[in-house]
Amino acid sequence: MFIALSILAFTIAIGLLVAVHEYGHFWVARRSGIKVLRFAIGFGWPLWRWHGKDQVEYVIGSIPLGGYVKMLDEREGDVAKEDLARAFNRQSLKIRSTVAAAGPAANILFAIVAYWLVFVFGISGIKPIIGEIITNTPADKAGFRSGEEIIAVGEESTPTWASVGNAIFIASQRRSQVLVTASGVDGNRVLNLSLYQVDNDPEKAKDMLRQLGIQPKQPLLPAVIGKILPGEPASQAGFQPGDRILLAEGQPIHTWDEWVKFVRDHPNISFNVEVERGSERLILILQPAAVKGENGDSVGRIGAAPSSLGELPEELRATLRYSPLAAVPQAIKKVWEIGSLTVMMIGKMLLGETSTKSISGPITIAEYAGYSAQIGFTSFLNFLAVVSISLGVLNLLPVPVLDGGHLLYNFIELLRGKPLSERSQILGHQMGVVILIGLMCVAFYNDLARLFAQ
C-alpha cells in the first residue's frame, strides 16, 4: 500500500512540477511572439495528444519524468518565410535569455505560493520544551536548562521542534555560533550556542539536536501501536493499529519507550508478545529485523509507530501559522533560505567539503513523497515546495543542456558579440549530458545504498 502511495505521490509531484517549469518557458515564449510547436509533459508513448490555439500540439507522455517546449527554430528545420520573425533563433539575446530563465522562475514562484498555503493552513508540531541536557555538550556549556522552551534561534521564531532544528541547521551552514532565546521560570534568556563541533553535513542534520546535547521533552506514550509499515516484522507478525503491548517475553511493558528499548535489544531474536486487542488478549510471535544503530551496533526494528501527534498532551502541542498577509514575506523568506542553502551545499560538494551522499534520486524522492502524502495535505505541499526549489536551482546551473547552460551561452555571446560556433555548442551539450549522467549515477547509487542499509 505504501509503495503504491509513494509511486502515485511521486508521479503527481514530478508531473506537476515539470508542468509548472515548462509552462514558464511556454508562457514567456508565447508572449514574446515566438511560435511554439509543442508543449509536452512526460516522454514515451503519448497518452493524450491534442492541438490548441495557433496549432500548438499538447502532449502528455506515458513516462512522467520530464517535459519540453519545442519552439520554431531554423537550426532544427526549415521555417516558412512568413514565420521567420517568430523563430526562436531570430529573437534578441534578451528575449532568448528571458525564455530560458522562465522555467526556473516558475518553479520558484510555485514554491512561494506553496509555502504561503502551508503557512496559512499551519504546520502542526511538538512544542520545543527541553527534556534533558547531556553533560559536557555545547548545550550544557551554553547554560540550557531542562524544562525551558526554545522560543527563537537568532531572529527566527521557533514554535515547534521542527522549526528549531531547521533554524539551527541553516545557522550551522553559515557560522560557528548562534544566539538562542530560551524561556523558563526566570523569564527569557539569550544563550550563545556554539556550533563549532557540530557535523553540519545534511546527512547528519536529523541528529543535530543530539549532537548539541539537547533531548526534547517527550510524553510518556502508552505502548499502543499507532501505525504499521507494510512488509516489516510488525506487519508480518500480525500486529494491528490499536494493539496495546502488555508483556514481551514475560516482561511487563508500560510505555512506548520501554517497548522500543526491548525491541532494539533483541535484533533477529524471536519472542512472544502479549497484546490487548479490544476485549481480547492475544499472543504474537515477533522477530525484529537487525539494522545498524547510531554507534554502528546491531539493533532491532519492527516498522511500527506509536500513537499520532494528535494524541499528544495539550501542553506539548504547537502550530506554526501566519495570517494570509503575514504569510507572504514568510513564504518568500523560506524560499530564499532553502534556495541559498541549496546553492551553498552544491558549492561545498564541488569543493569536497560536503559528502555527495545527500544527493537523492527518484527512489528516495518517491519515498519522501509517500511519507509526506501520508501525513497530510500541508506536508505534501511542503515537499512540493522543496522539490520545486531544487528543480529551479539545479536548472540554473551553468551546465549545457540545462537552462543555465543556455544562459551561459547567451552570456558568452554578449561578451563576444556573436554566438559560439555550432561545433562548440554541440561539444558543450555532449559534456553536459555526461555530467548529468554522472549525477544520475551518484543519485541512484545513494538511493540503493540507503535502501539496502535499512
Strands 298-301 and 289-292: what pairing?
Answer: antiparallel
In this structure, the answer to whether residues 214 and 235 fall within a common structural domain is no
Mean pLDDT of 424-430: 89
Would you state the pLDDT for residue 203? 60
Rounded CA-CA distance 450/441 in Å is 14
* DSSP tag of 129: B
Considering its fold, how many domains does the chain have in total? 2
In this structure, the answer to whether residues 242 and 176 fall within a common structural domain is no
Q: Is 33 within a domain?
A: no
pLDDT in tens, 134-170: 899 999 999 999 999 999 999 889 999 989 988 898 8
DSSP string, 247-271: EETTEE--BHHHHHHHHHT-TT--E
In this structure, the answer to whether residues 204 and 280 fall within a common structural domain is no
* pLDDT of 223 over the 70 cut: yes
Q: Closest Cα to residue 221, out of 81, 126, 107? A: 126
Cell match 539551527: residue?
168
Q: Which of 22, 149, 232, 367 is catalytic?
A: 22
Mean pLDDT of 77-94: 91
Last residue of a domain, one of 252, 281, 309: 309
Please tell me whether residue 202 adopts helix, strand or coil conformation: helix
| Top-ranked range on mean pLDDT: pick from 149-153, 220-224, 346-350 | 149-153
Q: Specify the CATH number for the domain of residue 204.
A: 2.30.42.10
Q: Are 118 and 385 in contact (CB under 8 A)?
A: yes
Q: How confident is the model at residue 206 (pLDDT cuts 50, 70, 90)?
A: low
In this structure, the answer to whether residues 129 and 212 fall within a common structural domain is yes
Q: Give the distance, in angstroms, between the CA of residue 302 and the centroid of all CA atoms in the same chain.
A: 25
In this structure, the answer to whether residues 265 and 304 fall within a common structural domain is yes
* pLDDT of 59 over the 80 cut: yes
- In this structure, of 15-24, 185-194, 241-250, 304-313, the range with the lowest mean pLDDT score is 304-313
Would you state the pLDDT for residue 318? 87
pLDDT in tens, 109-123: 999 999 999 999 998
pLDDT in tens, 381-414: 999 999 999 999 999 999 988 999 999 999 999 9
Residue 22 annotated to the active site: yes
How many CB atoms within 10 Å of residue 45? 8
| Residues 287, 289, 293: CA angle, nearest 5 degrees | 130
pLDDT in tens, 261-301: 999 999 999 999 999 999 999 999 999 999 877 666 889 99
Q: Is 177 within a domain?
A: yes
Would you state the pLDDT for residue 197? 73
* DSSP tag of 356: G
Last residue of a domain, one of 320, 346, 363: 320
In this structure, the answer to whether residues 204 and 163 fall within a common structural domain is yes
Q: Is 60 within a domain?
A: no
Q: How confident is the model at residue 202 (pLDDT cuts 50, 70, 90)?
A: low
List the domain range (segments joined by +) for residue 254: 227-309
